[in-house]
Amino acid sequence: MEIAKAYNPKEAEESHYQRWEKLGFFSPEINENPNATPYSIVIPPPNVTGSLHMGHALQHTLMDVLIRRKRMQGFKTLWLPGTDHAGISVQRKVVEQLRKDENKSPLDIGREEFLRRCWKWKEDYGNTITEQMRREGASVDWTRQRFTMDESLSRAVREVFCTLYEEGWIYRGLRIVNWCPKDKTVLSDLEVKEESKKDGKLTYLKYPIKDSDRTITVATTRPETMLGDTAVAVNPKDERYQDLIGKMIALPLTNREIPIIADEYVESKFGTGAVKITPAHDPNDYQVGERHNLPQILVMNDDATMNANAGAEFEGLDRFKAREKVVEDFEKLGLLEKVEDYEISLPTCERCKTIVEPILSEQWFVKMDEMRDLALDLAKQNTPKFSPEVPHAKVYTNWLENLKDWTISRQLWWGHQIPAWYDEGGNVFVARTYEEAKDQAKTDKLIQDNDVLDTWFSSALWAFSTFGWNGEITETEDLNTFSPTDVLVTGRDIIFLWVSRMMMTTKKFVNKVAFKDVIVTGTVLGKDGKPMSKSRGNGVDPLDLFDKMGVDATRIYLASIATGADIRWNDTLIETYRNFANKIWNATRFCLMNSEGATVDHQSLMLDGNDSIADKWIVSRLNKTAIDVNKALDKYEFHTAVSLLYHFFWDDFCDWYIELVKDEITFTDESADADEDDLSVLKESAPQIEARTRIITILETALRMLHPFMPYLTEELWFKLPNVSNALHHESYKSAEATIMLTNFPNGDASAIDEKAESEMQSVIELISKVRNIRAEMQIKPSDRIAIHVACDRNFQRIFTENKAQILKLARADKLNLSNSLDVPKASAKAVITGGAEIAIPLEGLIDFEQERNRLQNQINKLDTELQRLNGQLGNANFVERAPAEKVQEIRDRVAEIETQIKALKLNLEALG
């Protein structure tokens, strides 16, 4: 079998995915067992404008690991892919394109044409991320791919909107909302990020009191809003202002008069104790305004320039220019008291970073009290179960408890247009269709609401709308089979935005939990410890990693860091896994170079008791690893699973097992004059074929366990193994074409764990390691053969005799002398191993006595430190009395062991003189 010397990921990645997809391996229908248990995951729909970033790569890897393992275990698995329509993002891109290419605005071409362009844009560019997911090896069922603006999903949106409206859970109202002047749309609280600004200013303005020469001073961070002031409020108990309550103010720069009112909301201690009230531009002021029946004067346009209400002097000015002008004008009037530096946090638009303006606006809202309880009641029963539980479960519950109403209308065209119509009198009719609205209104002179719904409104239905529910159709086979989904994998940032809302709507509309478990991944941070972002330039592109390191290396690397905690990016760590991929490749290469006559045969791992220690040991290790990997994955401890697989494969299988059986399975040149390159003259013996079959089968089992993490490499190598076919498949996939994807994921067999063999093998390993240590420290050349003398009991003698050939080879020795006591020249290097075997290596002429003394003394010192600590424990009467007896015994045994070793080493030291 010809196989390249180094693993080339590209070659393997190119062919397999297409085949898997074409043969339908990703669809649940591939499972032939009608009674198979379903297992499902819906993908957090990436933004249709998006391209793959590190967060996706991490989360997709974890979902794929979960799905691939369950599929191999015979579950009827579905991982459902799709994208959301990303209202603002797409709209912004199309607007920009229109402006650049045709110098037109959306209004120039009209709503219908604009939407046509949006769909075109989606057709042209919306596949970026789905193609990238194919590159990742994500085993999603593309036949069930969904988009939030698909016909059925859109119908679901209308159904949900209307139902919630009919039940009074959705309302339309005039409220202070977050307005993004750049996108010219309202935003929900969750789309607004507070950004602390150190160079803020607090401006103190003096307002003259009518018919008086007094003034009252108010402080503000947004002086321009004074143009919309309709009162000044003070605390009713504030003695400073008692005589002013009820007086009128001649509001400067306007020709309005506004009252001084008393309201509990004002804190006397803060600022001057007097607050300007701008009901149309501040949520608190709005409430004060409601209480006192104050007029609401909106002084800004939707692009945050001042409007006519602000006065001719200000109309058309940008809000920040207006701010400067207000301050200047007050100064000219002698009414500017002072300007202080003031640290303030400003609400900004999460997407475009524009400072959000709170303004009075009529919008649609979801009332959150009853809605919230749907999720909160479940949360109190620990549903969904968060992983890691701390801190997410608590943060989630706390957030639900303090939830405010959700602004769902957006002043965009791209999205689900709100199913509400207005007649000429402005009466509103909410209906599933225009026809129904007409029936309600008894007229056809209706205009549909211009606005669309928040993208998250449709995403909130993802856990059931994707399975076919749309209000008209309320039961589908997929919904029955795959809902509730088993687990959701997502980032911290959308727990509130998305996870919570899916829990609510799924409970409300299909009366199910959306998903049982939620895995919250950490964030992969840049080298600087900050979240990766384009503006910071600290991002790492997963596609670059795919090119440089290979998809499989990237995947298993990401799984290895998936502990739930944030992790700082480190360039060199991924190389570990590129090297690992190459190691797997080469171990397979080695096995294949010596595979003549061998087959993959799991019967070969059923040991009968007459097998070698090495075989019993590796089979034991293999099964233990399988059991532990499954346990780890059941607990979503991906990093533990990776670590177990890495060390089993590299340390146990490559470093020891392959080396131990190398001579047995490779051709020897004993057969007379045979040309070494001419393998044909050599004949395999039955035991050799047995040994080859066993190592190939162990390798095959390891590849299966690695497959969910490294799908391409394992598939590529699996096909190179002798006699692989769909006969090796899990029983649920017997008719499918051959692939490692559909083989059994090893469960591990507890009865195959052989602690005795493991401990015996440990002694062999320790013996070889000690000899190697002596060789290295005594600077014995690799080419120099040595003699090993071991004094030990009969049990050790049996073990070492059985492994004599391997010990000689791996310790580069030509003699192994086993006896009850040592009889060696003084010029020998010595060591002791656990269990009391003494090693001596005669080094006539090679030994440096001084160096050997140091070496022995160092070992004695190390042991002595431990001995003292342990003796300290035993000397503590409380410990001996109160600690569990087995613990005490453990320590005593250890002390005895160390004392034996120290004694032997000391004798050796004395013998050196």
Shortest gap between Cβ of 94 and RNA (angstroms)?
30
Shortest gap between Cβ of 765 and RNA (angstroms)?
8
DSSP 450: S
Decide whether 140 or 816 has the Cβ nearer to RNA: 816
Shortest gap between Cβ of 284 and RNA (angstroms)?
5
Shortest gap between Cβ of 208 and RNA (angstroms)?
18
Shortest gap between Cβ of 887 and RNA (angstroms)?
5
Measure the CA–CA gap between 751 and 753, rounded to whole angstroms.
5
Decide whether 10 or 111 has the Cβ nearer to RNA: 10
Decide whether 129 or 780 has the Cβ nearer to RNA: 780
- Going by C-beta distance under 8 Å and a sequence separation of 6 or more, which residues neighbour residue 737? 23, 726
- Going by C-beta distance under 8 Å and a sequence separation of 6 or more, which residues neighbour residue 884? none
Shortest gap between Cβ of 221 and RNA (angstroms)?
5
| 844: alpha, beta or left? (left if phi > 0; alpha if psi -120 to 50) | beta
Decide whether 221 or 476 has the Cβ nearer to RNA: 221
Cα angle 434, 437, 438 (rounded to 5 degrees) comes to: 90
A 10 A CB-CB count for 19 gives 12
Closest by Cα among 594, 202, 177, 636 to 392: 636
Decide whether 150 or 655 has the Cβ nearer to RNA: 655
Shortest gap between Cβ of 720 and RNA (angstroms)?
13
Per DSSP, helices labelled H in 561-637 are 573-593, 613-634
Cα pseudo-dihedral 770, 771, 774, 775, rounded to 10? -140
Measure the CA–CA gap between 220 and 154, rounded to whole angstroms.
45
Shortest gap between Cβ of 214 and RNA (angstroms)?
19
For 75-107, b/e burial (b = at least 16 CB within 10 A) is bbbbbbbbbbbbbbbbbbbbbeebeeeeeeebe
Decide whether 114 or 646 has the Cβ nearer to RNA: 646
Measure the CA–CA gap between 64 and 70, rounded to whole angstroms.
10
801, with CB counted inside 10 A (0-12, 13-18, 19+), is exposed
Shortest gap between Cβ of 291 and RNA (angstroms)?
15
Measure the CA–CA gap between 684 and 159, rounded to whole angstroms.
72
Cα pseudo-dihedral 663, 667, 672, 677, rounded to 10? -130
Residues forming a β-bridge with 277: 231
Shortest gap between Cβ of 533 and RNA (angstroms)?
11
Decide whether 24 or 271 has the Cβ nearer to RNA: 271
Measure the CA–CA gap between 220 and 231, rounded to whole angstroms.
14
Decide whether 78 or 216 has the Cβ nearer to RNA: 216
Shortest gap between Cβ of 857 and RNA (angstroms)?
12
For residue 729, the SS3 value is: strand
Decide whether 238 or 449 has the Cβ nearer to RNA: 238
Decide whether 430 or 768 has the Cβ nearer to RNA: 768
Decide whether 92 or 692 has the Cβ nearer to RNA: 692
Per DSSP, helices labelled H in 280-428 are 283-292, 319-332, 368-380, 389-401
